[in-house]
Amino acid sequence: MDKTLASPNAAVADIPDGARLMIGGFGGSGAPIELIHALIDRFRETGSPGNLTVINNNAGNGAIGIAAMIKAGMVGKMVCSFPRSSNAEAFNERYLAGEIELELIPQGTLAERIRAAGAGIPAFYTPTSFGTELAEGKPVEEFDGKMYVRERWLKADYALVKAETGDTVGNLTYRLAARNFNPLMAMAADRTVAQVSQLVPPGGVDPETVVTPGIFVDGLVEVSEPQQEEVLVRAGVVY
Amino acid sequence: MAYSKLTNAQIAWRAAQDLEDGAYVNLGIGFPEMIAKFQPEGRDVIYHTENGVLGFGKAPKEGEEDWDLINAGKKAITLNPGASFFHHADSFSMVRGGHLDLAVLGAYQVSRNGDLANWRVGTKGVPAVGGAMDLVHGAKRVAVVTDHVTKDGKPKLVETCSFPLTGVGCVTRVYTSLAVVDIVDGHFVLREKLAGLTLEELQGVTGAPLHLEGDPADLTVPDLD
């Protein structure tokens, strides 16, 4: 078995219009910039994929990554917990103009809904958001004297994740706090592709240190010395 | 009587005096983060951040940032010995699962039964909630640091919150620019107030009755710049 893909372009070549797309990362850490930019290249050349639903904690920063996807007009809907970052003008402009839809989810509920999808659990109860406007219309139930809100799993067609080291059968490790949503999203999509800073043969990742087991990963592409979102934003890079 | 209200640094200092040795603590983005600066000597506190780090330390020097190592406010951090990384679902398991000893948040309003409004003031603009609605559930103590009144002098400690809620009945203690107030059985209970402030004056800028359990102590804080 070898899940290696030839290039970032090859990794995103079959994502269709209207796909639900999970993209790993939190703020500037752990974002698979090269995979996102390959997707933007494809959209600019072919007009596809458009009308994407993007699931990420934020709604893009600066003029690269998810923000550049929004600017390019590929995103119909964002599903996130915190779209109002300091450099989120790309999303803000389209949202306030009514050109992009937003599903706002508390951060821990977003993480758990993704985890539940990966674990085959269609719904769960959480205390988070009980009694708030974000729980309106959701079933509630009392357990041991406390009220909880029922939340559904959150699945995707594709997940794009960034990892530090991967072996060719898909086992992944992450770098520092760049782990964040990546292992959860890898579990929750029909097809998961990872960009890794180092691609090694099977046995090159110590089984004791594997964070995402290869069963959750369908394809990997090596991007050595990947770009870092926060560094790009601070440098004012426009993609 | 004359008094001058506490600065944000002084409110943070007072809240820091209640940090317990060995506690696992989440400090909300912004004002609550300042509490770590005043952590008393000799107490070991392990700080949690929602994006998946336990045991982070001070900010790195300028130019030494590694932007893969950030906190929930997207600021660069460093690690203390014994730190750990984990994914987002584990991170919020620590929050909701009752594993944190203390979470501290800011507030627009706190009601007398402990409802918190701190994420949105109206319907305009782009809404953003982040982890606030999660953080108010599960920590053994959920505290708020805030000015006692709004910029135009209206009470922030109120009978019922008029702004959208973050959580219901979740706050256990409020550190304000004038007082320290606990929430007990649906009431504000005054624990400390500035010495130069009368009970009547304090009640006059508080939107719900302040109950007493014995005499409130003086709220005494050092001069900080």
pLDDT at B22 over 70: yes
Strands of B109-111's sheet in order across: B116-117, B109-111, B157-158
Locate the chain B residue with the closest alpha carbon to A95: B126
Identify the structural domains of chain A with CATH numbers, from first to last. 8-122+154-196+218-231 (3.40.1080.10)
pLDDT digits (tens, 9 = 90+) for B159-218: 999 999 999 999 999 999 999 999 999 999 999 999 999 999 999 999 999 999 999 999
- Interior angle at CA A116, CA A110 and CA A122, nearest 5: 110
DSSP A9-75: HHHTTTPPTT-EEEE--BTTBS--HHHHHHHHHHHHHH--S-SEEEE-SS---TBSHHHHHHHHT-E
The complex scores an ipTM of 0.96
Average pLDDT score over residue span A115-137 = 98
Mean pLDDT of chain A: 97
Average pLDDT score over residue span A149-177 = 98
Residue A65 forms contact with B (CB below 8 Å):
no
Active site residues of B: 50
- Residue A84 is predicted with a pLDDT of 86
Query: Which amino acid is it at B93?
Result: S
Partner-chain residue, chosen from B88, B138, B165, that has the shortest CB–CB distance to A132:
B165
Mean pLDDT of chain B: 96
pLDDT digits (tens, 9 = 90+) for B106-139: 999 999 999 999 999 877 889 999 999 999 998 9
pLDDT at B5 over 60: yes
Average pLDDT score over residue span B137-144 = 95
- Residue B124 is predicted with a pLDDT of 80
Query: Which region among A74-83, A146-155, B2-11 has the lowest average model confidence (pLDDT)?
Result: B2-11
pLDDT digits (tens, 9 = 90+) for A188-234: 999 999 999 999 999 999 999 999 999 999 999 999 999 999 999 99
Cβ-defined contact of A228 to B128 (cutoff 8 Å): no
- Residue B161 is predicted with a pLDDT of 98
CA B149 to chain centre: 15
As assigned by CATH, the class of the B8-218 domain is alpha beta
- Residue A85 is predicted with a pLDDT of 78
Residue A129 forms contact with B (CB below 8 Å):
yes
- Residue B1 is predicted with a pLDDT of 55
